[in-house]
A = this chain, B = another copy of it.
Amino acid sequence: MIRIGIFGYGNLGRGVECAIAQNPDMELVAVFTRRDPSSVKLINEAVPVYHADEVLSFKGKIDVMILCGGSAKDLPVQTPYLAEHFNVIDSFDTHAKIPEHFENVDRVSKKAGTVGMISVGWDPGMFSLNRLMAGSILVDGCDYTFWGKGVSQGHSDAIRRIEGVLDAKQYTIPVEDALERVRRGENPTLSTREKHTRECFVVAKEGADLQKIENEIKTMPNYFADYDTTVHFITKEELDRYHGGIPHGGVVIRSGKTGKDRENTHIIEYKLRLDSNPEFTASVIVAYARATYRMSKEGQGGCKTVFDVPPAYLSPLSGSELRKNLL
């Protein structure tokens, strides 16, 4: 049995708890939280919840600690801190800061002889892997990543910070025509606006200036100004009923040429359609937790990413079972 700990229990932590229950070679030992432990209710009530301050007393009792905090403030501190004492895995997803996070975790985990697996999920994660593999196969080609249709937490939060907004949900939607051009192998150059549209469902406070809110959304730099954005004002009840889920997904496409005269075109497409973004991310993390455990058992140490993991390490099946049934 691989003994797992969860550090941080929000949507992702809950997804990890569900995913562990699907994997019979894993056991959830404990959940750690910065909140009052008695206020945290797990799905499986038999699993104990401890305050984060008690985590070090579990050294030697947990094989892999799964960190479920946020990338902005939690993981940059927590992952290096815990990597000194445990094999760790996180879903750090601030792409621009991955090299820095890698260095920080690598320094600690190399010294401690632990494995620190970072940036696991679907982007970064499975999408990154597909960009790497498709690009290594079709050397002469172009990469395209489309996200959605799905909920962007960051964009929803940005709308909620606007004066007069009570609640909001934002969907990122790929432009179908752009997708089809890529799938046809046209290798188009696409602007930000040509790739995705943004659709916002907003609950306004009573008496708020709707025109002003809509204008603030549509002109918000970085978040919306470069996109064709649609804004719908709805009631809180409608938001909860029709937009309560956290679906997401997307597509990575590589289009490339081969042959003596580049006469042949090939399209590699990897596509995800996810009912629950955090639960799918959690499922990826749990498979990579198995790999983390195995790499640690082999004596490996240091920071790792999905690029470093032999795919066989993700599966509970043996090498010969995999070759017989899946190759």
* A contact residues vs B (CB 8 Å cutoff): 15, 18-19, 22-23, 43, 95, 98-99, 102, 119, 124, 126, 128-129, 131-133, 135-140, 183, 256, 258-260, 263-276, 279-280, 282-284, 287, 290, 305-312, 314-316, 319-320, 322-324, 326-327
Measured between alpha carbons, how far is A322 from B263 in the docked complex, in Å?
29
A270 is contacted by which of B264, B270, B312 (Cβ under 8 Å)?
B270
Asked if A327 and B136 sit within 8 Å, CB to CB, the answer is no
Measured between alpha carbons, how far is A136 from B120 in the docked complex, in Å?
14
Smallest CB–CB gap between A133 and chain B, Å?
Answer: 6
A260 is contacted by which of B43, B183, B314 (Cβ under 8 Å)?
B43
Residue of B nearest to A260 (CB): B43
Asked if A324 and B98 sit within 8 Å, CB to CB, the answer is yes
Asked if A135 and B326 sit within 8 Å, CB to CB, the answer is yes
Smallest CB–CB gap between A189 and chain B, Å?
Answer: 18
Contacts of A258 on B, CB cut-off 8 Å?
15, 18-19, 22, 275-276, 279-280, 282-283
Smallest CB–CB gap between A144 and chain B, Å?
Answer: 13
Asked if B311 and A132 sit within 8 Å, CB to CB, the answer is yes
A-B contact pairs, 15 of them (CB 8 A): A15-B258, A18-B260, A99-B324, A119-B327, A126-B137, A128-B327, A132-B314, A133-B311, A137-B280, A137-B284, A137-B287, A263-B275, A266-B275, A271-B271, A307-B322
Contacts of A124 on B, CB cut-off 8 Å?
327
Smallest CB–CB gap between A300 and chain B, Å?
Answer: 11
Asked if B139 and A23 sit within 8 Å, CB to CB, the answer is yes
Contacts of A98 on B, CB cut-off 8 Å?
323-324, 327
Closest CB pairs A-B (n = 5): A264-B275, A136-B314, A307-B312, A258-B279, A264-B276
Contacts of A320 on B, CB cut-off 8 Å?
99, 102
Measured between alpha carbons, how far is A305 from B95 in the docked complex, in Å?
31
Asked if A307 and B308 sit within 8 Å, CB to CB, the answer is no
Measured between alpha carbons, how far is A275 from B141 in the docked complex, in Å?
14
Measured between alpha carbons, how far is A324 from B18 in the docked complex, in Å?
32
Measured between alpha carbons, how far is A309 from B314 in the docked complex, in Å?
12
In the complex, besides A99-B324, A267-B273, A308-B311, 11 extra interface pairs with C-beta distance below 8 angstroms are: A15-B258, A98-B327, A126-B137, A128-B326, A264-B279, A266-B272, A268-B270, A269-B269, A307-B312, A307-B322, A307-B326
